Amino acid sequence: MSQSVMKWMAAAVLTAALAMPSVFTPAFAAGSDEPSAPPATKSAPKDSKKAKKKKSSADDPAFLQSYRHAYATIYDNHDYAGAIEQLKALRHDDRADVANLIGYSYRKLGNYQLAQTWYERALKADPSHVRTWQYYGLWQIEQGNREQAQYHLHRIAQLCGTECAEYRSLAAALDKTSANGLVY
């Protein structure tokens, strides 16, 4: 191969690398400090007194403040045990966002069995909860289950496409583990 062809190919590779920074920059898993709305369920008719009185926890200022505090305990303070207590105290661990963060905290503490239980609980509450698919995919990588992590990546692509942060984060983790055996 001539030297000019090799230079051209090197320039093409460099140009491609610069055009796709998300492939070469680290992507970190992070949830949201705002819980998503619970999935739609069959509820009482709109004119019922019960339906009018019942308020979603997503609208409850005390719930939101406590959720944000637990979120900060995880991502700012890295106090996973403290966050688990705070999240359970919300008494909404049947919500996907809450159960997912409990699972994440157990995973960070190294309790993979409880982490799995909470990830599965989150997906039972909301099978379309993208962050749970992402975090559970990272759990799969840490367990050496690359095929399952690929399945989780595929589910994320179905739910939010390949450009969402959760997809890019899990894809980057899969790429890194295949390249140099890193674990997240």
**Each residue's pLDDT tens digit in the chain (184 positions)?**
556 544 555 444 444 443 333 333 333 344 455 555 444 444 444 444 444 344 456 678 999 999 999 999 999 999 999 999 999 999 998 999 999 999 999 999 999 999 999 999 999 999 999 999 999 999 999 999 999 999 999 999 999 999 999 999 999 999 987 655 544 4
Cut 0.85: pTM above it: no
* φ/ψ bin of 90: left (φ > 0), alpha (ψ from -120 to 50), beta (otherwise): alpha
Terminal alpha carbon distance of the chain: 40
Closest CA to 95 of 58, 55, 149, 61: 58
DSSP 128: T
CA distance 131 to 164: 11
Query: Residue 179 belongs to what H/E stretch?
Result: helix 165-180
